[in-house]
Amino acid sequence: MDGNLAGSNLRINGDRLWESLMEMAKIGATEKGGNCRLALTDLDKDGRDLFVRWCKEAGCTIRVDKMGNIYARRAGKNDSLAPVMTGSHLDTQPTGGRFDGVLGVLAGLEVVRTLNDLNYETERPVEVLVWTNEEGSRFAPAMISSGVFAGAYDLEFGLSRKDQEGKTIGEELQRIGYAGEDPVGKEVHAFFELHIEQGPILEAEEKTIGVVTDAQGQRWYEVTITGQESHAGPTPMNRRRDALLGASRIVDLVNRIGLEHAPYACATVGMLNVYPNSRNVIPGQVFLTIDFRHPEDDVLTEMDRKLRAGIDEITGKIGLEQAVEDIFYYKPIHFDEDCIAAVRAATEELGYSHRDMVSGAGHDACYMSKVAPTSMVFVPCIDGISHNEVEDAKPEWVSAGTDVLLRAMIQRAGKAD
Amino acid sequence: MDGNLAGSNLRINGDRLWESLMEMAKIGATEKGGNCRLALTDLDKDGRDLFVRWCKEAGCTIRVDKMGNIYARRAGKNDSLAPVMTGSHLDTQPTGGRFDGVLGVLAGLEVVRTLNDLNYETERPVEVLVWTNEEGSRFAPAMISSGVFAGAYDLEFGLSRKDQEGKTIGEELQRIGYAGEDPVGKEVHAFFELHIEQGPILEAEEKTIGVVTDAQGQRWYEVTITGQESHAGPTPMNRRRDALLGASRIVDLVNRIGLEHAPYACATVGMLNVYPNSRNVIPGQVFLTIDFRHPEDDVLTEMDRKLRAGIDEITGKIGLEQAVEDIFYYKPIHFDEDCIAAVRAATEELGYSHRDMVSGAGHDACYMSKVAPTSMVFVPCIDGISHNEVEDAKPEWVSAGTDVLLRAMIQRAGKAD
């Protein structure tokens, strides 16, 4: 590898990057300043086409795999070596923002452009990747294509996912001209993903860079609490079996479990439906969902134990029935130590304030970590808001994150002798 | 008045009463064994016609007032005296039962039939009343016609109430032939209403008769709790402003306030809506309703104070905004001491097990208590269930309640010399 990475000229062009971000944001722009570019729509095709054009202009070769993932390649000196890759997604939520995903893609392009500017030859090839259907808004599940790449799903499953109108990913890839021929999956020397944090920590602590060491594991539950529907007037308090009272105590329990495993645990009841939901009827049944997250699987197991014991106690006391269903269990991920070290070193060389972070959300990098050395770089977003048209980030944050990405990629790709 | 009420022959004919109840229940019978006889529908007309026919067969004269309330009158010796009245309603909930309301009407008819059998002449006239639209299912508000009778609403308001298709009570009374000419409201010497309890207390304590001394006051609220909608993954526990956490603690608070004012207080959150109600989004807003009931107004005031203080504390702690709106305040009713005494004495003469009770639900008797000496008699219903097609009662309970009604009415109407 190379010892001269810290040269002051190793900086990306922040203005050019910002201009590209704003140009891409015109495709599917919403009135409120956000983006709606759902996977494999005409607008997604327009975004892909623009990306491909820019990459070709930057001298890259383009390949597309059978899941429609786009690989823009800048050759290395030793082009037979496995590439160092970076990337994210161009698809958005229906009321999404201008940075979620697209930043990670265009930062990769900016890395290539900067290497070109500097006439910098890497030992290994560098590739910038666009993953198909990361958001999962149009086709469930989310991160389907990195999932296929990592072997979590097979190709047939991926191509057969349907939108609400019954159109499949495979059909829509054909329609927009992005059904490629390449196999999905190959040897990768390292993978980096730059992303906005989608949470409030970096901005609140005035840190520019999040060195992402882990991604939280997730356990999701559906809980149904059943009591006795009865009249709010003639039914004395001590004879009630109020399902909402039990459910409310479960909400408090979930919050308490989260706090007991601070600072990394997240514990949320996001959905709660009351039956019959009438002003003067004691609720007979409540359905609620629980979302537990933590970077350590042992802690998730302990949270699970506390949840079940707590629900037993709460429902037993009121005389309620319970049904607790595990619906999703995604184990925590620890990213690759060398990749983390490359990000941290780059951040320190550049003098950016930083902190280690755990990703609370899922990203394509989570799947990639199963098959390649992987880590992530986070930059702040305004008020921690994402999946929202008001999603925003400052140009200096975006530049700083891309500076870090550039150096981390060079560190892993090596300077050609 | 008369000192010889305790004669063993002063009993109603339980078989005849039960037969009439079951005959009436055929009109609007539902598959699950309940009744659907919505106010002023063709089925309500059929029920009214049957009642009127039976009353005429029992020698009564029939008058109908401008709200469609039916008065079936058995003359007294001194027929110019104000009548002793009893009655309830023939309309039902959409999935109602065979006893709610109709028992109180047909028990009145059975009192008349029994007086006829015994050739018993009362000093005052006796009237059996059918109130229009007690349930409020088709036309809101509930108890509209006794409300007009008592002066809580004016006649024009009552007649102009609309159903969901825009048809008014006045139009529908004309259509089914029950738009009468009599004024709504007159002098009443005493009013009694027999009703199923619609709660579980009598059956659980194995008591046959509830001597109803009071009706609970009610205070209803709408509460909106606002926090910060954010992602369940990347948002640490200590940075959350979770509206559902606050709302859940309010549910627990409401329950605690109810228990603190046992045994009479009822405190219920019946409706609760979460926004955006998504599995992995921390709820930004929750709307909920509160229903407080107690027979003493001072206690309702104290419950109100505790509620507001509690909500302040809960929302302050989490950093939530609150909006608490009073939407309904109905003061408690204490029924007439003489009428209560008449019911209690009759119950004791007959040797039925009994207890004093507070009505948790609203009844026409509540409005009548504003303009006439009034009280109520409760009998158990199976499992305390009402407003439900499985609503049920045992024939012996129904007979016992009507026995009590007979004696209480005679006590107030007087035996002719």
Question: Tens digit of pLDDT for each residue in B393-405?
Answer: 999 999 999 999 9
Closest CA to A417 of A40, A124, A70, A30: A124
- On the question of pLDDT at A2 being above 50, the answer is no
- On the question of pLDDT at B408 being above 50, the answer is yes
Backbone angles phi, psi at A136, to 5 degrees: 75, 10
Amino acid at A38: L
Q: What was the pLDDT predicted at A330?
A: 86
Q: What's chain B's average pLDDT? A: 94
Rounded to whole angstroms, the Cα distance separating B202 from B208 reads 7
- On the question of pLDDT at A134 being above 90, the answer is yes
Q: What was the pLDDT predicted at A278?
A: 84
Q: Which residue has the tokens 């002066």?
A: B151
> Looking at residues B386-392, what average pLDDT do you find?
87
Q: Which residues of B touch A319 (CB under 8 A)?
A: none
Task: Give the architecture (CATH level 2) of B218-330.
Answer: 2-Layer Sandwich (3.30)
Backbone angles phi, psi at B364, to 5 degrees: -55, -30
Interchain CB contacts (distance < 8 Å): A and B: 205
> Looking at residues B337-341, what average pLDDT do you find?
98
- On the question of pLDDT at B204 being above 90, the answer is yes
Which residues, at least 6 apart from A172, have a Cβ–Cβ distance to it below 8 Å? A39, A40, A163
Q: What was the pLDDT predicted at B2?
A: 41
Rounded to whole angstroms, the Cα distance separating A67 from A134 reads 12
Q: Is the dihedral of CA B14, B20, B21, B26 positive or negative?
A: positive
Question: Tens digit of pLDDT for each residue in B73-127?
Answer: 999 999 999 999 999 999 998 888 999 999 999 999 999 999 999 999 999 999 9
**Across the interface, do A251 and B244 touch by the CB < 8 Å criterion?**
yes
Q: Does B385 contact A at CB distance below 8 Å?
A: yes
A245 → closest Cβ in B216, B255, B386: B255
- On the question of pLDDT at A5 being above 60, the answer is no
> Looking at residues A75-83, what average pLDDT do you find?
97
Q: Span A3-216+332-413: which CATH code?
A: 3.40.630.10
Residue pair A215/A79 in contact (Cβ under 8 Å)? The answer is: no
Q: Which residues of B touch A289 (CB under 8 A)?
A: 279
A279 → closest Cβ in B234, B249, B289: B289
Enter the pTM of the model.
0.78
Rounded to whole angstroms, the Cα distance separating B101 from B180 reads 21
Q: Does B387 contact A at CB distance below 8 Å?
A: yes
Residues of chain B with CATH 3.40.630.10: 3-216+332-413
Residues of chain A with CATH 3.30.70.360: 218-330
Q: Chain B, 258-317: which have a CB under 8 Å from a chain A CB?
A: 258-259, 262-263, 265-274, 277-283, 289, 291, 293
> Looking at residues B164-170, what average pLDDT do you find?
94
**Across the interface, do A263 and B238 touch by the CB < 8 Å criterion?**
yes
Q: Which two tokens stand for residue A365?
A: 């990098």
Rounded to whole angstroms, the Cα distance separating A112 from B1 reads 107
Question: Tens digit of pLDDT for each residue in B274-321?
Answer: 998 888 889 999 999 999 999 999 999 999 999 999 999 999 999 999
